[in-house]
Amino acid sequence: MKATVIVELKPSVLDPQGKAIQHALHSLAFTSVEDVRVGKLFRISLTDSNLSREDLEEQLRQMCQRLLANTVVENFSYTIE
């Protein structure tokens, strides 16, 4: 089974890396770019256990809260394929 986790800064948190990319795109003449925000993406392969969908989602939430995301400044979302 495959899961994709996306971790992004909360909208209220400044993203200097995104701003730097935005300026770099402007200087490369991509002037239509208004804003850039950067996030992280994790592709996680899981063994096909007999976990229910809910248990799997609970595991992913735990992974995000305990390791992948800093929930003080970041939001996370996940999809399961």
Closer of 34 and 72 to a second copy (Cβ): 34
**How far apart are the C-alpha atoms of 17 and 62, rounded to whole Å?**
27
Output the CA–CA distances (angstroms, integers) from residue 65 to 30, 35, 71, 72, in the order listed: 36, 27, 7, 10
The 16-35 site mask, x for binding a second copy (CB under 8 A), equals --x--x--xx--x-x-xxxx
Among 57, 63, 74, 80, binds a second copy (CB under 8 A): 63
- Please, which residues have CB within 8 angstroms of residue 13's CB and are 6 or more apart in sequence? 73, 74
Among 13, 14, 16, 43, binds a second copy (CB under 8 A): 43
Locus of tokens 């992913």: 60
Residues found near a second copy in the complex (CB under 8 A) = 6, 8, 18, 21, 24-25, 28, 30, 32-47, 49, 51, 59, 62-63, 66-68
